[in-house]
Structure 1
Amino acid sequence: MRHRYFNGRIKVFSKNKYINTTRYIKIVSILGFIIILLALNIIINSHSPNVYGFSIYKMYPWYFWILIIMAIFIGQIILMYNAISKYETNTWHIGFLMIIISNLILLFMPIIKGYFIHGREDVLTHVGYMIDIENNHNIGSNAYPMLHIIGFTLKSFSGISYNDITMFLPLFYSLLYIFSWYILGKYVFKNKRDIFIMLAFSSILLLGSKNVMLSPNGQAILFVPFFLYIFFKSRLPKKAVPYSILLIILSFFIIFSHPLVTILLTITILLSDFTMYLNNKNPEIKIKKSTNLLSIMVCSFLVWSSYLHILAYSLENIMYTLMSTDGGSSEFGRYQTSLSSVHISLLEIVGMVLSIYGPYLLLSVLSAICIIYIIAFRKKDNIKVNYYHKLSILGWMLLVFFSLLLFLLNDQFGFVRVYSYSIFFSVILIAYSIGIFLRRSSDKRNSNLKFLMAISSVLILITGLSTYSLFLSPAILKIDQQTPESEFSAMKTFYKVKENSYPVLERGTVNYRVHNAIYGISASKKKGITRENQVIDHFGYDNNSSLSYSYKKSYLLISYIGRNQDQNLLPKFEDRWSFNYSDFMHLDNDVGVTKIYSDKFSDVYIISP
């Protein structure tokens, strides 16, 4: 306690105005863990059968997902409190732990729901690559074998099935991603409070399906924070040799993981050297050039990768669109055409954009505000922008600019693939800028509280949107990626008894992907099962009375997904459906079509002209 005298009276003050806030943080922490226990209780008491659902979000009540979002948000609030508080406490550990536990619940959802495989498209083909390595003992023409080698190695040493590996590997990489941000932050940020700001943003599962589904691109991106940590450590003059050796090893790891991430990391290293050149006039840290590393990465990549021509084609397409008078196809143009063909309100369009791209857009808006703030107040408040801050600004601006070019002028290479990489620059940029603002207004208690409320609003929006876009669902115009065991069993039986000379048509079941996951890529190529072969819309019943008039003798595979996909993805746009329920009723009564197999998920027909 301390005393002050005013007009002869003694006024009593606590040691500091914030002394009781620690107690409030403990109360909030208890509330957060109670919320987590409530969410776990819902999971334990949920007895929904393990059947396919178009959205994992509908497999639990809506308030379950709200509880998870609230738990993450409370953890973020605790981290942000530690960032603005004048006194250091260890309560940030509680907030970080709360976020980790909540994220684990989300990451484990496919396993909790008993998914056989979490993936219906590329994931099945990646399982096929693992089977090829097991059967042939080589990687063949595999362009990014590292993930498949890891999967095969895990199965060989642990006995875990490839099905389970497809769900455990993304979980491991997502946790590595979060903890790598922590060690990267400890190295990059000299002020401990900036680390708390960074953790509040970086611990959100921002990368969507890349966090929960197996893919070389996704797992390579999740590895980037650890790579950057080793890279920055290896650039220092002292004790750099062990990190330099490790960095070279990791460079080969990245090259064999995914070519696009290799290109983006190479650009990051080039930007690092360019930033160091700009920083030479007033260097706060001495950093070595990356010439040798760049030479190794570029040469190895050019020798190994066949992916460069795809990017080169995209750049060629952009230049052609810029120079031509009639323009060219683009992702933006495709969206514009789709929207113009349906009647949809502006509010619905905004909602759809936020559902699909919301976390990225909010991070970009916040990043842009941070850059404007730094530019506007740099001279006035004598703001010092260090090497890492400059690198994050340059990196974010370059990637966003290139992503916009891809979006507006190209339809061959998805802009989100590049845009998602800008997250790494955004997180560092935002944490640095917010830290500078807080130190600038450290004597303004009310200003800090208002700022905390504003940042909290952004955090809960990003957390909510990222949670609801973590798994593919109709909300983002996708279907859940579960491949049920019954579908696998049905397809195994089908492959054993089918007549190889008959072509296979499909609706809802991706025949060649499932064949990849059962027998491997090489076996699928030998049998000529290498692509989708979709049946014609409405089974041709708008022109003919029987499907047999449209095809020679063929198999027709129809899954539960095929019967219900349009109705779940486009419930308000029946005129856009490729198949109606009446089409399937007509099919079952078609004299030219015979059903030879049926279960709850799959149906197999023979079309007989």
Structure 2
Amino acid sequence: MTANTTVDEYRETRRTRIALLIGFVALTLAVIAAHGAPTEGYELSIYRATPLPFWIGVGTATLLGLSVAVWGPGTKRLGHAATLLTGASVLSVVGLPIIRGYYFYGKGDSLSHLGWARMFETGGLHPIGMRYPGIHTISAMLSKAAAIELRFAVLVTVFVFFVVFLVFVPLCVGAITDVNPAPVVGIVSGLLLLAINNLGTHAVAYPTTQAIMFAPVVLYLLAGYVTDRGEHRRLWGDATAVGACLALSTTAIVILHPQQAVNLLGAFVLISMLQYLYRRFDREHAVAEHRQLYAQTGVFALVFLLWSARYDRVYVAVTDIATGLVSTTTPGGAVTSRAASLTMLGGSLEEMFVKLFGVSLLYVVLAAVLVVAVLAGSVARIDEDGTAYVQYLVLTGVPAAGFFVVFLLANAKTQYFRYHGFLMALVTIIGAAALAIGLDRLRAYRSRRLLSIVVAGVLVAFLALQMIALYSSPYIYQPNPQVTEAEVDGYSAALEHRNESTAFAGIRSGPRRFVDLYYGTTTQAAEQFPWRRNVVPQGNFRNGTLERAFDGETYVPVTEADIERELVLYDGFRYNEAGFDRLDEEREIDRVQANDQFRLYYVDPDAGGTGNLNASGAGGPNASGGGAG
């Protein structure tokens, strides 16, 4: 390459370089702005609490990165830079709880998983004694190796699985088609995180979600394994490096979550059957020429059976589903119940569908078009191996679709949305391939630059619609599952100093998750805690007769999150403002512990307002370390 060529190339790409520079500067300033505004307490919405400069910077960086990537920067290096900018911009949103210094992110199951991880760290439970110890083991090892707190290690582990998903989705798209837009479209499609629906999959420590994020790894290694016709160096006999990696990946997903592993195991069985049929009836087809998956399917099945058959919970789950199928319950009862609640809050099921599944529906259409085109004949930009891989992906969705229907008919709460999440991971890959092929065809038009800006704008709009529904927030009528340090300290002090004969009852839910966190999820103390699920009756709470709701002395913990959720988000739908005010006014109720995020009340129907702190067994007013508030 001559000096003149280098100079000419630089001049031609000068605007592109300036655009990328502006994008990286905007992203850097955005992250600095978010990190410089750490959380100071509970935030009902992480979106509203995050400074506006962060959103402006991320939006600018994403738009510039996508415009350059879709338009075609002229050099491979600039293309990689544009892709990196786009990916880093959206990942900064995914990593917001870490950037803004959240103590922990994820209530409900996530706190129980943190309790399990603590048991691993302290030696109270061995990983082999748990059904899905994957993320707990990784977090405990990361905590020890990096000398960071376990709660933070869990947040990092969740983030890393999102990165894994982002890396392997475009690789899977590349296994279908090698058109120029495939890498960037694959990355953008992965960034949409269509598999997160906030019903059965969540952006928190939730093994089902992490298993789905890992599924593209298995699918990509599957593509490499079946297309290996002996060109790669063998390790021993017929064993190859990619085969060993595939066996390790299927083992890993069993450990991450057996429920999602069943989807892939069923897919392996179906793919093996498809290979057998093509070898029997159409030996000229690419599938017939692919490496047989029989041995890998056998290894996968053996690992799954050896691991899962040991747990009684597996048999209980099968029994529960069978019972649900033969019962007279209405399918989708959980959705029907939520629809009724949404209507009372001023929302609607149709509105929620658009917010949660609007972009997903567009990708379903794209994926369906490509699948029909592939099955009907050949697609010019997909070779024989890519065509076969699309068939494999379609078969991969069959078991998950079947389980979705079964769990829906069995009215298994929102379990069927876990399978929806898995299906959307497949739709992401196939839909991205369809979109990449479409963009490659449009590149032939002369108005390429204008077209690239329009396409980039559409993709940014897709990202915006998905990102504002990624986290639980008032936008989707759900509270932010943030856990503050003061909240954890308050519960810890309450459990440490409690009178063991006094019951607990929580607002909307019992203290179960914090009991799991404090004692360890499956310790004897946690499992035998007698008031794990006790709830404050909303009728008594609203009409000021809380002392009549309980048979005896009762602790009622109230957090700032409870107040924000019930009064601001749900506008007193179940627990009203007057009820919270009465907690500090009724003679039979004493506040025995408090900090700025947590208050513990002691309800004694027979006390008559004596205010005897010692009787509660909760310690003095400074028991939580936060002083009386």
How far residue 550 of structure 1 moved from its aligned partner, in angstroms, is 3.7
Comparing 510-519 and 305-314, the one that deviates more: 305-314
In 2, Cα distance between the equivalents of 1:387 and 1:518? Answer: 51
How far residue 604 of structure 1 moved from its aligned partner, in angstroms, is 0.9
Correspondence for 1:600: 596
In 1, Cα distance between the equivalents of 2:424 and 2:451? Answer: 22
In 2, Cα distance between the equivalents of 1:115 and 1:313? Answer: 40
Indicate if the aligned counterparts of 1:367 and 1:426 stay in contact, CA closer than 8 A: yes
Indicate if the aligned counterparts of 1:79 and 1:200 stay in contact, CA closer than 8 A: no
How far residue 312 of structure 1 moved from its aligned partner, in angstroms, is 4.2
| Superposition pairs of residues 440-519 of structure 1, within 5 angstroms | 443-446=444-447, 452=452, 455-456=455-456, 458-507=458-507, 511-519=511-519
Confirm or deny that 1:138 pairs with 2:126.
yes
| Superposition pairs of residues 241-252 of structure 1, within 5 angstroms | 241-252=240-251
How far residue 59 of structure 1 moved from its aligned partner, in angstroms, is 1.0
In 1, Cα distance between the equivalents of 2:325 and 2:545? Answer: 49
Indicate if the aligned counterparts of 2:556 and 2:601 stay in contact, CA closer than 8 A: yes
- Assess, with a 3 A threshold, how the Cα gap between structure 1 residues 508 and 59 changes in structure 2: closer, same or farther: farther
- Assess, with a 3 A threshold, how the Cα gap between structure 1 residues 181 and 171 changes in structure 2: closer, same or farther: same
In 2, Cα distance between the equivalents of 1:93 and 1:531? Answer: 51
| Superposition pairs of residues 185-200 of structure 1, within 5 angstroms | 185-200=173-188
- Assess, with a 3 A threshold, how the Cα gap between structure 1 residues 220 and 395 changes in structure 2: closer, same or farther: closer
- Assess, with a 3 A threshold, how the Cα gap between structure 1 residues 382 and 419 changes in structure 2: closer, same or farther: closer
| Superposition pairs of residues 100-111 of structure 1, within 5 angstroms | 100-111=87-98
Correspondence for 2:209: 218
Decide which of 146, 149, 154 is 1:166's aligned counterpart: 154
Q: Deviations over 1:193-220 (max 9, x none)?
A: 4333322312444444767421211222
Indicate if the aligned counterparts of 2:229 and 2:290 stay in contact, CA closer than 8 A: yes
In 1, Cα distance between the equivalents of 2:451 and 2:373? Answer: 14
In 2, Cα distance between the equivalents of 1:280 and 1:423? Answer: 32
How far residue 549 of structure 1 moved from its aligned partner, in angstroms, is 5.6
Q: Deviations over 1:577-596 (max 9, x none)?
A: 11111111122111111111
In 1, Cα distance between the equivalents of 2:450 and 2:266? Answer: 38
In 2, Cα distance between the equivalents of 1:119 and 1:110? Answer: 10
| Superposition pairs of residues 54-203 of structure 1, within 5 angstroms | 54-62=44-52, 64-82=54-72, 89-133=76-120, 134-136=122-124, 138-139=126-127, 141-203=129-191
Indicate if the aligned counterparts of 1:50 and 1:113 stay in contact, CA closer than 8 A: no
- Assess, with a 3 A threshold, how the Cα gap between structure 1 residues 527 and 430 changes in structure 2: closer, same or farther: closer
How far residue 566 of structure 1 moved from its aligned partner, in angstroms, is 2.2
Indicate if the aligned counterparts of 1:167 and 1:212 stay in contact, CA closer than 8 A: no
Decide which of 577, 581, 585 is 2:581's aligned counterpart: 585
The residue identity in structure 2 corresponding to 1:342 is: M
The residue identity in structure 2 corresponding to 1:481 is: P
- Assess, with a 3 A threshold, how the Cα gap between structure 1 residues 453 and 262 changes in structure 2: closer, same or farther: same
In 2, Cα distance between the equivalents of 1:457 and 1:248? Answer: 41
Indicate if the aligned counterparts of 2:592 and 2:602 stay in contact, CA closer than 8 A: yes
Indicate if the aligned counterparts of 1:538 and 1:583 stay in contact, CA closer than 8 A: no
Q: Which runs of 5+ in 1 are unaligned?
A: 1-17
The residue identity in structure 1 corresponding to 2:585 is: N
Correspondence for 1:299: 302
Indicate if the aligned counterparts of 1:593 and 1:608 stay in contact, CA closer than 8 A: yes
Q: Secondary structure at the match of 1:557?
A: strand
Comparing 188-197 and 294-303, the one that deviates more: 188-197
Q: Secondary structure at the match of 2:590?
A: strand
Comparing 238-247 and 206-215, the one that deviates more: 206-215
In 2, Cα distance between the equivalents of 1:73 and 1:399? Answer: 35
Correspondence for 1:237: 229
- Assess, with a 3 A threshold, how the Cα gap between structure 1 residues 44 and 344 changes in structure 2: closer, same or farther: closer
In 1, Cα distance between the equivalents of 2:31 and 2:462? Answer: 23
How far residue 397 of structure 1 moved from its aligned partner, in angstroms, is 7.2
- Assess, with a 3 A threshold, how the Cα gap between structure 1 residues 190 and 125 changes in structure 2: closer, same or farther: same
Indicate if the aligned counterparts of 1:548 and 1:607 stay in contact, CA closer than 8 A: no
- The sequence identity of aligned pairs, in percent, is 18
Indicate if the aligned counterparts of 1:80 and 1:200 stay in contact, CA closer than 8 A: no
How far residue 37 of structure 1 moved from its aligned partner, in angstroms, is 3.5
The residue identity in structure 2 corresponding to 1:71 is: A
Decide which of 324, 327, 344 is 1:342's aligned counterpart: 344
Indicate if the aligned counterparts of 2:537 and 2:549 stay in contact, CA closer than 8 A: no
Correspondence for 2:609: none
Q: Secondary structure at the match of 2:286?
A: coil
Decide which of 322, 329, 333 is 2:336's aligned counterpart: 333
Comparing 216-225 and 232-241, the one that deviates more: 232-241
Indicate if the aligned counterparts of 1:125 and 1:513 stay in contact, CA closer than 8 A: yes
Q: Secondary structure at the match of 2:344?
A: coil
TM-score by length of 1: 0.83
How far residue 118 of structure 1 moved from its aligned partner, in angstroms, is 1.3
Comparing 178-187 and 417-426, the one that deviates more: 178-187
- Assess, with a 3 A threshold, how the Cα gap between structure 1 residues 518 and 380 changes in structure 2: closer, same or farther: closer
Correspondence for 1:31: 22
- Assess, with a 3 A threshold, how the Cα gap between structure 1 residues 369 and 248 changes in structure 2: closer, same or farther: closer
Correspondence for 1:355: 355
The residue identity in structure 2 corresponding to 1:520 is: G
Indicate if the aligned counterparts of 1:234 and 1:244 stay in contact, CA closer than 8 A: yes
Comparing 372-381 and 468-477, the one that deviates more: 372-381
Q: Deviations over 1:366-405 (max 9, x none)?
A: 3234446667886999997711233334545775676467
Q: Secondary structure at the match of 1:123?
A: helix
Confirm or deny that 1:537 pairs with 2:538.
yes
Comparing 286-295 and 482-491, the one that deviates more: 286-295
In 2, Cα distance between the equivalents of 1:127 and 1:366? Answer: 39
In 2, Cα distance between the equivalents of 1:130 and 1:102? Answer: 30
- Assess, with a 3 A threshold, how the Cα gap between structure 1 residues 70 and 403 changes in structure 2: closer, same or farther: farther
- Assess, with a 3 A threshold, how the Cα gap between structure 1 residues 106 and 303 changes in structure 2: closer, same or farther: same
Indicate if the aligned counterparts of 1:540 and 1:547 stay in contact, CA closer than 8 A: no
The residue identity in structure 2 corresponding to 1:487 is: E
Correspondence for 2:614: none
Indicate if the aligned counterparts of 1:504 and 1:556 stay in contact, CA closer than 8 A: yes
Correspondence for 1:7: none
Indicate if the aligned counterparts of 1:69 and 1:467 stay in contact, CA closer than 8 A: no
- Assess, with a 3 A threshold, how the Cα gap between structure 1 residues 441 and 603 changes in structure 2: closer, same or farther: closer
In 2, Cα distance between the equivalents of 1:297 and 1:170? Answer: 25
Q: Secondary structure at the match of 2:596?
A: coil
The residue identity in structure 2 corresponding to 1:177 is: F
In 1, Cα distance between the equivalents of 2:443 and 2:507? Answer: 61
Indicate if the aligned counterparts of 1:331 and 1:409 stay in contact, CA closer than 8 A: no
The number of equivalent residue pairs is 576
- Assess, with a 3 A threshold, how the Cα gap between structure 1 residues 492 and 443 changes in structure 2: closer, same or farther: closer
Indicate if the aligned counterparts of 2:555 and 2:601 stay in contact, CA closer than 8 A: yes
Indicate if the aligned counterparts of 2:62 and 2:86 stay in contact, CA closer than 8 A: yes
Comparing 396-405 and 589-598, the one that deviates more: 396-405
- Assess, with a 3 A threshold, how the Cα gap between structure 1 residues 29 and 272 changes in structure 2: closer, same or farther: farther
How far residue 552 of structure 1 moved from its aligned partner, in angstroms, is 1.0
Q: Secondary structure at the match of 2:111?
A: helix
CA RMSD across the alignment: 3.6
In 2, Cα distance between the equivalents of 1:271 and 1:260? Answer: 17
Q: Secondary structure at the match of 1:179?
A: helix
In 1, Cα distance between the equivalents of 2:563 and 2:203? Answer: 26
Correspondence for 1:3: none
Decide which of 288, 294, 316 is 2:291's aligned counterpart: 288
Q: Which runs of 5+ in 2 are unaligned?
A: 1-8, 233-238, 606-629
- Assess, with a 3 A threshold, how the Cα gap between structure 1 residues 320 and 462 changes in structure 2: closer, same or farther: farther
Indicate if the aligned counterparts of 2:35 and 2:100 stay in contact, CA closer than 8 A: no
How far residue 456 of structure 1 moved from its aligned partner, in angstroms, is 3.8
Indicate if the aligned counterparts of 1:592 and 1:608 stay in contact, CA closer than 8 A: yes
In 1, Cα distance between the equivalents of 2:43 and 2:212? Answer: 29
